[in-house]
Amino acid sequence: MSKKILIASVVVIAIIFLSWQMSRPVTLTIGIFAGNNWDVPQGEPYAIIDEVIKNFEAENPGVKVKYISGIKKEDYSEWLAEKFIDGEEPDVFFVLAEDFNLYVSIGALMNLEDFIADDKNFSADVYYPAAFNFGKYENISYALPAESTLTFMFVNKTLLAKENIALPKNDWTWKDFLDICRKVTRDTNGDGVPDQFGCYDYSWLHAAISNGVKFFRDDGKTSYFADSHMEEAIKFIMELRGVNGGFEVSPKDFDVGRVAFRPFTFAEYRTYKPYPWRIKKYTSFEWDCIKMPAGKSGGNISVMDTLLVGMSSRTGNKDLAWALMKKICYDEMTQQLILKKSQALPVRRDVIISAEAQEIFSWEESDTATITPADISDAMDEAIMPFKFKNYNAAMLYADSELNKIIKGVVPLNNALNKLQKEINARLQY
Amino acid sequence: MQKILTVAGMHRLLYVYNGFVIFVLMAFMCLTQERINNSMTARAFLEEAGAVPQSSIMLLCTTLAASLAFVLLGHLYRKNKNRYERYFLFAAEVIVCMFLMRVLNLSYDGVVLLVAADLMFKHEGHRQEYTLLIALICLYVIANYNLAIFRTKIISFEAYVSYYNADAAAVLLAIKNTFYSLNIVCFVFYLVLLVKSTHEEKERIRLLNERLEEANQRLRAYAIEVAQMAETRERNRLAREIHDTLGHALTGIAAGLDACIMMLEVAPEATKQQLNKIRDTARKGITDVRRSVKKLRPDVLERLPFQEALLEMTKDYSESSGMEITFDIFSWPNNLRQDQEDVIYRVLQESITNAKRHGHATKVKITIGGNENYLLIVIADNGLGCEEVKHGFGLKHMRERLELLHGTIHYWSDEGFIVEAMIPLNREAEHDKNSDSR
């Protein structure tokens, strides 16, 4: 008798609990950091996500979306890891490039292939390949791209005009680049020291990428630093360095308008181009951006960095989480918002080449603006994605220090690249 | 101490010990996770761990639930009598064991030994050695290759330990290894106790078997004795039968023939009648003998109700022997058993025969009476009687028969010879018991 009562009361409690659970509004959480992924100042850090949440909640009644605000980008990685250890990770979260492989390998990110295959309203074709593929690991999608940025060449138009040099076209090459640098590098005030330079901050990395060098095998276990394209790039950098005659160019030189070229991300371009930043940062010269110069064996290629959004593999609301991911990464309205309100580039091709983009990109009334949405779209199509395997940063840091020795002539070039490749391969093994 | 040193006690100790170790490990993991989060090394830990850890509260709940399920299944397994249900319970126990190890990130596989202990506990011999062997091998394969199966999903104990500094890590690893070693020691000790108890059990069974064999032998001897006794009794009974039937008939015939010899000259017609009666008696005697051989039961009794059978028997006898027999029946018990009827019949038959043969009596008076407890039969004749009663075959048999029914017989000479037989009724069963216990 008492047993029956016990069972009955357990059942009743279970039913009450379940109905209470069911009647509760579903709450989704988003993991997001303040500001942006591109290290440029941003006014309203949560403007876009607030808008996205408002739209999403309107489309899905009974669903609440929340996020924790105030987490800085540099703290985000640790914060997310702590949430995972506590088992309270957000359902949907932004994934930093350096965290992506870790979270895939520990099984924290949901495999999205089934969602992509089952969702008739979703097509990966709308994305730029470099953006969409960035969310893949061993050819399986674990994250969707939300926004991208890529590197362009800043051009000091005032300086070029002063030197009577035409603005280079978007299909310019190393040779054009080198020629212009040679022309502009000189001593303008006659103190015997050159005070006007061709370029600042153009590194072997930019050169190698635009010369079609692939640094590593996809699994990150082997490097290709001894490639002949790499050698060409190094030689080009050494030549470019030779133009300056041993003088080191400082960022201040660029800021005051005494340098013709400097690679910048598009986010920086978006940040500093419009009012008021334009006034604050670069007042003394007019500037614009064009694609990176093409190497002998490459093209006008640069690296496109993409911010990814992933889903926790432990989420209890997979379908809603997928819908939310799509709202952030796939929805045209959201992508338009990114175009309007952030410094980054949307990842949808149709948004980039839309009329709105045309409007937004032409800040200057003059016809001198060289970059058009079509150019940006081309650059994004051609762009390559950065590597993101575990030892990537360490390997590149080592390569940078070794290559700088070569470039500065401390180490002779002859066999140095082979040696470097072996060194790095050995480091990649563990 | 004495209590622990039994198989069941050691088994309980194994369970308690493993529960303790599991709890400590679980607490260690939970605490380490908390500390990692507090010291801002979560990302480094994830990198070291290679898997997403369970949250502390989940870890606590799943460990407790799995442990409880494990204990419950183990208990049911050990208590269950049905072989197939037990197989099922054992499989469930193995699954829960794997789950528990998985929850604890495979950092402790001592639970496998618990499963082995349960298995050994319920091991029944016969051809189960092979099952046991296979099961044990499987358990160990599971324990060792679990690691391979779940490799990508588990966080090694070392990953947790690596959070602490080298000294603390060494101590922690040592503690963990001690836990495991102690478990093995306990398990081995348990096995020793189990083997010992099995051995003792066997010894006990052997002793019991010896005693059983002894008892069997005694029983066999007793059976032979009983058979011999039965044979003797049967022989006695046969003798009695022959005496009762043939003796009765032949005595009657002899007496009748004596009469015939004397009457032959004087009254041939009466002699003829007498001879007819003698012939009838002889026939009846033949029938009696046949029946004795066949069934050892008086034919008259077979054919007629008992009282009529008695009357017929006496009538026949008085007709053949010329003796006057009268009946005085005061009361008659309703439900006489067959053996009682047989005895009464034989007693009457024998007494009448004796009256004619030894007492040369001409009149016999039979009185039957008694109450619900006993039946009294008095047979008095007007014959010679005797000064000293010779205990012949007939009297002895009557006594034997009556004693079988716990009855008594008395006889004495007065004006003739008087036989008084008493047969207890109804209470016989009780009487039986009393006499047995006496």
H/E stretch holding B419 reads: strand B416-424
Would you state the structure tokens that stand for residue B265, as one six-digit string? 């000259």
* Chain A residues closer than 8 Å to B38 by CB: none
Interface residue ranges in chain B relative to chain A, Cβ cutoff 8 Å:
33, 36-37, 40, 42-43, 45-47, 49-58, 152-153
pLDDT at B293: 67
Q: What is the pLDDT of residues A372-385, one digit of tens each?
A: 788 888 889 989 88
CB contact at 8 A, B70 and B111: yes
Tell me how far apart the alpha carbons of residues A153 and A176 are, in angstroms, rounded to a whole number: 13
B52 contacts A314? CB cut-off 8 A: yes
User: How close B30 comes to chain A (CA, Å)?
Assistant: 10
pLDDT at B215: 94
User: Vertex A143, ends A152 and A354: CA angle to 5°?
Assistant: 50
Amino acid letter at A145?
A: P
A102 contacts B57? CB cut-off 8 A: no
Task: Tell me whether A74 touches chain B (CB under 8 Å).
Answer: no
Residue among B30, B37, B38, B46 with most chain A CBs within 10 A, to mutate: B46
Q: Which of A181, A386, A381 is nearest to A291 (CA)?
A: A381
Q: What is the pLDDT of residues A309-360, one digit of tens each?
A: 999 999 988 999 999 999 999 999 899 888 888 888 899 988 888 877 777 7
What CATH architecture is B304-438?
A: 2-Layer Sandwich (3.30)
pTM (2 d.p.)? 0.67
Tell me how far apart the alpha carbons of residues B104 and B26 are, in angstroms, rounded to a whole number: 7
Three-state secondary-structure class, residue B234: helix
Would you state the structure tokens that stand for residue B9, as one six-digit string? 């006690």
Pairing assessment for the beta strands A63-67 and A287-290 based on DSSP bridges: unpaired
Closest Cα in chain A to B47 = A102
H/E stretch holding A289 reads: strand A287-290
Answer yes or no: same fold for A2-148+305-361 and A150-303+376-428.
yes
B46 contacts A77? CB cut-off 8 A: no
Cα A418 to the center of its chain, rounded Å: 30
A88 contacts B46? CB cut-off 8 A: no
Selecting from A85, A102, A107 the residue whose C-beta is nearest the C-beta of B33 gives A85
Q: Where are the domains of chain A?
A: 2-148+305-361, 150-303+376-428
Tell me how far apart the alpha carbons of residues A240 and B409 are, in angstroms, rounded to a whole number: 150
For chain B, give every residue range classified as CATH 3.30.565.10.
304-438
Helices (H), B151-242: 157-161, 166-242
Closest Cα in chain B to A88 = B55
Q: What is the pLDDT of residues B316-328, one digit of tens each?
A: 888 888 888 888 8
Three-state secondary-structure class, residue B393: helix
Quote the percentage of chain A above a pLDDT of 70: 95
The CATH topology of domain A2-148+305-361 is D-Maltodextrin-Binding Protein; domain 2 (3.40.190)
Predicted confidence (pLDDT) at residue A405 exceeds the cutoff of 50: yes
For residues A168-174, average pLDDT? 89
For residues A294-302, average pLDDT? 89
The CATH topology of domain A150-303+376-428 is D-Maltodextrin-Binding Protein; domain 2 (3.40.190)
For residues B69-90, average pLDDT? 86
Task: Tell me whether A190 touches chain B (CB under 8 Å).
Answer: no
CB contact at 8 A, B313 and B345: yes
Residues in Cβ contact with A409 at an 8 Å cutoff, skipping those fewer than 6 apart:
A238
Confidence of residue B77 (pLDDT cuts 50, 70, 90): confident
What ipTM was reported for this prediction? 0.79
* Chain B residues closer than 8 Å to A313 by CB: 52
Pairing assessment for the beta strands A259-265 and A143-156 based on DSSP bridges: antiparallel
pLDDT at A340: 84
